[in-house]
Structure 1
Amino acid sequence: MDSQSFAQQKAERYQGYADNAAKRSQDWVNAANEGCDFLSLGEPIKIGHHSEKRHRNLIERNARRMDNAVAEMNKAASYESRIAYWEKMAGKIDLSMPESLEYFKFELDKAKTKHKELKDNPRNESMVIH
């Protein structure tokens, strides 16, 4: 397996991870909407009432679920940055590939041409600041 196909497989694997994390994040957001019709009324917690514990637990559960949603969203963003890196590495040409010899020969010829041009046409002005 060459480095390009390895990098492409890593990018695809991380894409799957990112998609799963985004889906889990959305699931947590949907779960956090439990009791949203009740909470949207803005009803205060009735201290000492039999519904106080249920109301506090509902708010706490939804806050925890939103925290989980944000954590999953951050994981998805982390995977996205890894995907960008591995996609860049998939396009990288290195010496492990047989076709890289032609590429590096071309680059060498280009560098030799540029070097010869610089040697044949020296700069007239001095680089020293007076």
Structure 2
Amino acid sequence: MNSYEAKQAARKARFEERAEQASAESASTYNRARDMAQAIPFGQPILVGHHSETRDRNYRDRIHTTYGKAFALQDKAKHYEQKAASVGTGGISSDDPEAIEKLRAELANVEQAQERMKAANKAIRTHKTEEARIAALVAQGLTEAQAAELLKPDFAGRIGFPSYALSNNNANARRIAGRIAELEKRRQRVDVEQEAEGYTYREDTEENRVMFVFPGKPDEATRALLKRHAFKWSPSRGAWVRQLNNAGIWAGQEVKKALNALTKVGDV
């Protein structure tokens, strides 16, 4: 497990822990509300005009509020369960130090799939009987069931792998190759660190992040500026960050211009 995978595993564990905690709190709160409700005799109405009316209404409101808290905690638990389940399902991340190697392996699989589809279609065109076609497809590694499925005509009477399947697969191969080229180019970048009045700007290749570091919490206008350019606060890094790519670098330059302009205005 590399450093990125370890971070992902820790992130998943944090979400699972939060889900478990919220679920336990939900159950406890629900039981408390139920115990409160059991103190009222079944079917007992509010005695309007009685000296107990105000106290009774307040008590019933607290029961209602406590049930509401239990259901809100249950929703919170489901939220964190979903976040935990989604960790690692977004494909190969550029933050992964092994991203290029993993993308190359993925590209090889996609290219092999393209060749298998082309070979299957060629076998179908070459052989004229279904029996011969199935035998040829099985010889290529398909099962008899897969071969028979491939020979079923589609809505237009076509058999084999449709042209759009090959086109889509080819487009996917180009996309993966483009990502590999981009990441290889990114690896050649050098770290950047620029000190300015009131902040430090960094392009950190190891973290794969564009960063703004402030000596303390920036004011509301600065935070709004950073958020407007998609920078997010990272407690673990102690900085406002976004991914180190062309868009991130451009956004960093825009934020720097704005911050420097604010500094000049303040000096006047």
Q: Normalising TM by the smaller chain, what interval?
A: 0.7 to 0.9
Aligned residue number for residue 145 of structure 2? none
Aligned residue number for residue 41 of structure 1? 42
Separation in 1 of the partners of 2:125 and 2:3?
44
Aligned length: 126
Task: Indicate conservation of the 8 Å contact 1:34/1:62, yes or no.
Answer: no
Using the TM superposition, give the Cα deviation of residue 56 of structure 1 relative to its aligned residue in structure 2, in angstroms: 0.7
Q: Give the aligned residue type for 2:68.
A: D
Unpaired segments of 5 or more residues in structure 1?
none
Separation in 2 of the partners of 1:88 and 1:108?
19
2:113 to 111, 114, 117: 111
Between stretches 30-39 and 46-55, larger displacement belongs to 30-39
Aligned residue number for residue 22 of structure 2? 21
1:56-88: per-residue Cα shift (whole Å, max 9, x none)?
A: 111100000111111111111111111111153
1:101 to 1:36, Cα distance in 2 relative to 1, 3 A? closer
1:87-113: per-residue Cα shift (whole Å, max 9, x none)?
A: 535xx5667328637844752673364
Task: Indicate conservation of the 8 Å contact 1:28/1:69, yes or no.
Answer: yes
Aligned-pair identity (%): 25
Q: Give the aligned residue type for 1:26.
A: A
Secondary structure at the aligned position of 2:87 is classed as helix
Secondary structure at the aligned position of 1:43 is classed as coil
1:117 to 1:25, Cα distance in 2 relative to 1, 3 A? same
Structure with larger RCO (C-alpha < 8 A, sep 6+): 1
1:40 to 1:7, Cα distance in 2 relative to 1, 3 A? farther
Unpaired segments of 5 or more residues in structure 2?
127-155, 158-268
Separation in 1 of the partners of 2:13 and 2:125?
50
Using the TM superposition, give the Cα deviation of residue 34 of structure 1 relative to its aligned residue in structure 2, in angstroms: 4.1
**Does 2:79 match 1:78?**
yes
Within a 5 Å distance, the mapping from 1:91-130 to structure 2 comes to 96-97=97-98, 100=102, 103-104=105-106, 107=109, 110-111=112-113, 113-114=115-116, 117-118=119-120, 120-121=122-123, 123=125
Aligned residue number for residue 9 of structure 2? 8
Aligned residue number for residue 67 of structure 1? 68
Separation in 1 of the partners of 2:18 and 2:33?
22
- The CA RMSD measured in Å over matched residues stands at 3.3
Q: Which 4+ stretches in 1 moved above 4 angstroms? A: 92-95
Secondary structure at the aligned position of 1:39 is classed as coil
TM-score with structure 2 length normalisation? Answer: 0.39
Task: Indicate conservation of the 8 Å contact 1:2/1:97, yes or no.
Answer: no
Secondary structure at the aligned position of 2:23 is classed as helix
